[in-house]
Structure 1
Amino acid sequence: MSDFEIIFSILKAVIFEDEKSSDMINAYAGRSDNLPLITKTVYGVLENKIYIDYMIRKLSDIRLKKIHKNVLLILEIGIYNIHFLETKDYATVDKLVDLTKAKNKRSTGFVNAILRAFIRDEKEISTIYEKDDIKSLSIRYSFPEEITRYIYDFYGMDYTKAYLRDATRVKDLSIRVNNLKTSKKNLEELLIKDGFEIEAGKISQYSFIVKNPGGLARSKHFKDGLFTIQQEASMKAIEVLNPKDNSKILDLCAAPGTKTTYLAEYTKNTGKIIANDISKSKNKLILENIQRLGLENISLTNYDASIFVDDFENKFDYCLVDAPCSGLGVVGRKPEIRYNRTKETIVRLAGLQRKILENAIKYIKKDGYLVYSTCTLGPLENRDNFNYLLEKENLELVPIEGQDFIEYKSFEAMTDGFFISKFRKIND
């Protein structure tokens, strides 16, 4: 397969079949010698799709919805290459026309005309003419207008601009030291010896920032379970929960299990941890990580967290609800999120989160602790649900570092956007 064929196949799976970009890139990794270009183009198209489509509308006499989806995808790949990668040679156009012949032969002339017209008049076509500030931002940063307006209405313009700019920033990768198998100092020495550039984490004491992470997950030290790839804000949720050794802990929405494994390491393989998630398909990945990290105190269950489980009632000293959410805090790592989220999605998820929280409260013992966290932003899933918990007569707020909650801004904390709150159950 040519590089353009691989890019096309990955993007088609992500945009039309709801696959994850990272999974698809990994699936095709062995089919090209130019994986960096493929990765850059896939993420680039996803991160700029709304803006690219805006330019295609200017060029095409055919309405966007009437263009065959394969043809539109080829045009998006072409416009991205010409405008963002500055490959303005007609050889690129010819390659994409050849790809069109294989995917939709009758549209070869159309694709050729659109891409050549863009090269001739790129400056004018790429200029955004919108008087509405939110609509203009939505196009410029390729974020759905409805979600852009949702963020703006709550946080204001400065925050919205900073968030949208940051959404395409290449994020630093952080790792968590497995203290059951190594020390922070020893791991640092091993990784530096292997050529990795390491910095101390800024949020978690057990984290490192890896500035050149290529090949990290293939390293011997990863396979030996000396560390786990995890963003620092995610680690913080476990450190805020702060479970004691020999306690009973429930991770109610556990997949893919990254926080679960930190719970086991944090409690030194003592006590009992239940990792629950509705998705049985994720069990294999969780079990692989448990084995890799040398963990012994985790059991898996697959209940629907929104439905009450009798066997869990009043059983746990600690409960983590890292709830299913819209993921607006991790768009920089998962760019496809921006195209499958609507305000309606957010409202639905906020309601689901409350059902899960209602059950979680019943699962913890008196004097037990509940942490509610999400990797998103906006009032409906975060502060509104926090206030919902705050009004519960059987819960008491536990401040975190002198604050009612932590809300990490990705563009300030240089980690995922994340919300963390903590409560203690004071009576049944």
Structure 2
Amino acid sequence: MEEYDPPVGLKETLPYPKPGTFVPKEFYVFLDNSYDEIPEYDYRFVALELEDPALTDYTEGDTGDVELDLEPTYLFVHIVRKVGSDVTIPLLQEYQIDDGTENLNTIKAYQLFKYVCDKKDNDVERKLVRTRNTPDDDDKVNYQPPSLKAAYKEIKVCLKESWKQPEVEKRKIVKRLLLKWHPDQNHDNVEFCNKVFQCIQQCLQRLNKSLDLVNDDADDEGAQSSGRNFDFSFPEDYWSSWLQRLLERYKRGRKFYEERYKSRTYDECDGDWNAKRAFFGEPELHPYHYRAEARRWQKQAKSDLDNSTLSLQRKPNNSFNWVCYMAHQAAEKSMKAAWYAKDANKVHTVRYSHNLNSIASGLGSGIETLARNVSTLTGEHTRMRYPDAFYGQQVPEKAFNRETAQTVVSAAKQIIEIVQGNYIR
């Protein structure tokens, strides 16, 4: 493994995005959903997919709103090293990345997305371009196996590997294969991609029936029809009902972002690669609304509040410290949900904090006042649990009464309601 170190000229001139910064939504149209070998000069300008709601069996709370229900989430990351030199399939290559956390992480290429760039030889002057997927666009240089036989072999290797993974990881691999080879994304090579796409479907059907993928070349003949009139719907009797939904969601989400930012060019997003210092140096000017994560934290906050309410109602009850602690947790998680919705790029400032006053700062006077009231009554979060937070023989169980618990639960409930109305919606 060799760590990539950009030439001095690149180090000095390129304001690369800070690892761990969320990719702005207007950049989504520049992401390449295909896959290829990641060149070293792109190692510091890569996106890591954190979440894609289309990969889940999502039904609960589906609002029909693309931004709420279909919005993927990406982080800017830096690739530090390519792990292993004997991997022949780009989708399965491993990379060690810096994602802004304390430790480096090793992930597979199917979680990484490059940006589509023009063909200028000078890497420093390259500019991003929108994903090209119409017949009139210029050809896009893209990785492709040298023959159908090689493509079929690669597909089978990738799918066999995917079936060894947890369900979500499996779907990530399948998604990348579908989006790379779908004929709608390859107008300049429809016939070849039709055949490969059909091969993917046939392999998925076999795997879903717990059948092996046969490596005999003769077994690929069925996937070598011209495919010009191929029906790209999926049979109802297998896992592919999810695949059909994935493609529908992808098309709807892609159209949403293309329409929203159709008048924006990369230059209008702050200029060319060299001129992006304003964005990459000041991410606070470009808040990222991570609504899916906000809803997840808010859901847990409501659950904590419900448990504190039920505990409060129990009689007799000598554990009002735990009622207060659960309500304190509910308030903390709800306010963190608000930060994910307001600007996920600032969550790192409060992620590991349990101080309600600090977390509430910046969320509005109403939340700040309620958080201050709770903190006054409960003190630090450790005070509700540990005897050494008190002097003498006092213990948490005896330090809180029903009246205090009722006030804390009421304040937590108000915080959750304000966050729901002002941030989660």
Q: TM-score, normalised by structure 2?
A: 0.24
Q: TM-score, normalised by structure 1?
A: 0.24
More strand by share: 1
Taking CA–CA contacts closer than 8 Å with sequence separation of 6 or more, which of the two structures ends up with the larger relative contact order?
2
